[in-house]
């Protein structure tokens, strides 16, 4: 009886045993993907039949590992935030690359390569000393553009997924699996590059602001801020707060410091900064963004913070659990 089981596919019984591997392989070539999945599913159940106690141990190991890993990550983030952020950024950048290369997802690899090349150039410009006067705006332009593209891509992907669940794809004669794959792919691209872009933006924002000299991460500003100078980019402010700018407006924070609209939006939203670049006073985002349609961007940024854990650390934790199961002989 061991190693022999029967699977019925579309009314036809296929006998699969240890002595019929050639016949099994021949039959698999004539099966549809759904039938192959059903066959593999039946094999898995036959293989793990009677292993309920072992599976309970594996679930317990998974739960304990998740709890311990979460506690370790929280303590690490609180005690050594700089090293935690750097390691998390590296994980975010490399872990998806490993899986997509293994699965031959060439479209993702192409977008990942383009993102890496442009971001590497922008990061290089942001870390130069002395900092060129055009670099801050270049950095914020790239990351704001990336932020908006990833946000729009995620929304489109989510919309496609919801439309597929409600069957709207059938109106356009699109197969549900094709529509779902398209929506999930867009959602993945939007969320992944949204998280990765925000982390690079924060790193560049800290370095640039300290290089300009008005902002210090651990102390007082190293330069005096003139009323006509933006503390983020160091360039003159040409438009009054009460005037409507042709390209961009001028914003005044609750601490009365004024900035270019493009610079302060990039500082607060993309770089996750909630303080004034000059005096470190907390920024009132509700007062700053009077347009209600722009407030969801802040909530979207909070969502990306939660997803960072799932993308960067969850695969590592699952790999650790599998290693423990392998050492203990559990399967």
Same domain? 73 vs 95: yes
Length of the chain: 331
- 187 in a structural domain: yes
Same domain? 183 vs 309: yes
- 42 in a structural domain: yes
Query: What is the pLDDT at residue 290?
Result: 57
Residue 275: φ, ψ to 5°: -130, 160
Query: What is the pLDDT at residue 267?
Result: 75
Contacts of residue 254, defined as CB under 8 A and 6 or more positions apart, other chains included, come to 281, 283, 284, 287
Residue 74: φ, ψ to 5°: -65, -45
Same domain? 60 vs 36: no
- 163 in a structural domain: yes
Give the pair of three-digit tokens for residue 66. Answer: 């998740």
Query: What is the pLDDT at residue 158?
Result: 94
Q: End-to-end CA distance of the chain, in Å?
A: 21
- 14 in a structural domain: yes
In total, how many domains does the chain have? 2
Same domain? 41 vs 130: no
Q: Are 176 and 169 in contact (CB under 8 A)?
A: yes
Q: Work out the number of other CB atoms within 10 angstroms of the CB of residue 75.
A: 11
- 204 in a structural domain: yes
- Which stretches in the chain have pLDDT values below 70? 1-30, 41, 45-52, 133, 209-210, 212-224, 269-272, 285-301, 331
Strand partners, 17: none
Matching residue, tokens 């203990």: 328
Matching residue, tokens 């094709």: 178
Give the pair of three-digit tokens for residue 297. Answer: 């961007």
Q: How far is CA 129 from the centre of its chain?
A: 30
172 DSSP assignment: G
Same domain? 33 vs 58: no
Whole-model pTM: value is 0.68
Query: What is the pLDDT at residue 231?
Result: 78
SS (H, E, C) 244-291: CCCCCCEEECCCCCEEEHHHHHHHHHHCCCCECCCCCCECCHHHHCCC
- 36 in a structural domain: yes
Report the run of H or E that residue 234 belongs to, with start and end: none
Torsion of CA 199, 201, 207, 210, to 10 degrees: -120
Same domain? 38 vs 111: no
Same domain? 101 vs 197: yes
Q: How large is the angle between the packed helices 295-312 and 81-103, nearest 10 degrees?
A: 70
Same domain? 32 vs 136: no
Q: What is the CA radius of gyration of the chain?
A: 26
**In 3-state terms, what secondary structure has residue 134?**
coil
Residue 244: φ, ψ to 5°: -95, 120
Same domain? 21 vs 84: no
Contacts of residue 175, defined as CB under 8 A and 6 or more positions apart, other chains included, come to 169
- 142 in a structural domain: yes
- 131 in a structural domain: yes
Structure confidence by residue, pLDDT tens digits, 220-252: 566 667 778 887 777 888 888 778 877 788 888
Same domain? 33 vs 62: no
Same domain? 21 vs 136: no
Query: What is the pLDDT at residue 187?
Result: 92
Q: What is the largest CA-CA distance in the chain?
A: 86
Q: How far apart are CA 325 and CA 331, in angstroms?
A: 7
Residue 18: φ, ψ to 5°: -70, -20
Query: What is the pLDDT at residue 315?
Result: 85
Domain that holds residue 74: 53-212+289-322
Q: How large is the angle between the packed helices 135-165 and 106-126, nearest 10 degrees?
A: 150
Same domain? 166 vs 94: yes
Contacts of residue 38, defined as CB under 8 A and 6 or more positions apart, other chains included, come to 7, 9
Residue 306: φ, ψ to 5°: -70, -40
């Amino acid at each position: 009886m061991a190693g022999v089981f029967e699977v019925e596919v579309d009314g036809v019984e296929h006998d699969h045993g240890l002595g019929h591997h050639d016949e099994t392989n021949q039959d698999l070539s004539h099966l549809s993907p759904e039938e192959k999945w059903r066959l593999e599913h039946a094999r898995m159940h036959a293989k793990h039949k009677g292993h309920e106690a072992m599976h309970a141990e594996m679930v317990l190991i998974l739960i304990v590992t998740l709890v311990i890993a979460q506690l370790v990550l929280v303590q690490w983030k609180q005690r050594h935030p700089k090293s935690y952020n750097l390691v998390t950024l590296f994980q975010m950048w490399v872990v998806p690359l490993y899986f997509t290369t293994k699965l031959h997802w060439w479209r993702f690899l192409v977008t990942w390569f383009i993102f890496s090349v442009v971001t590497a150039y922008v990061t290089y410009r942001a870390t130069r000393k002395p900092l060129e006067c055009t670099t801050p705006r270049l950095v914020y332009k790239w990351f704001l553009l990336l932020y908006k593209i990833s946000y729009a891509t995620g929304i489109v992907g989510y919309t496609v997924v919801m439309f597929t669940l409600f069957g709207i794809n059938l109106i356009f004669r699109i197969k549900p699996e094709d529509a779902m794959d398209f929506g999930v792919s867009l959602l993945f691209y939007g969320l992944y590059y949204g998280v990765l872009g925000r982390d690079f933006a924060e790193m560049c924002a800290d370095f640039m602001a300290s290089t300009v000299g008005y902002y210090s991460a651990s102390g007082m500003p190293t330069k005096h801020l003139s009323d006509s100078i933006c503390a983020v980019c160091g360039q003159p402010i040409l438009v009054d707060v009460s005037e409507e700018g042709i390209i961009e407006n001028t914003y005044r924070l609750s601490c009365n410091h004024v900035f270019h609209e493009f610079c302060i939006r990039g500082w607060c939203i993309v770089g996750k900064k909630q303080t004034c670049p000059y005096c470190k006073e907390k920024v009132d985002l509700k007062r700053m963004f009077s347009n209600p349609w722009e407030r969801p961007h802040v909530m979207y940024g909070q969502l990306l913070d939660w997803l960072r854990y799932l993308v960067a650390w969850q695969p590592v934790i699952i790999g650790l659990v599998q290693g423990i199961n392998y050492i203990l002989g559990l399967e």
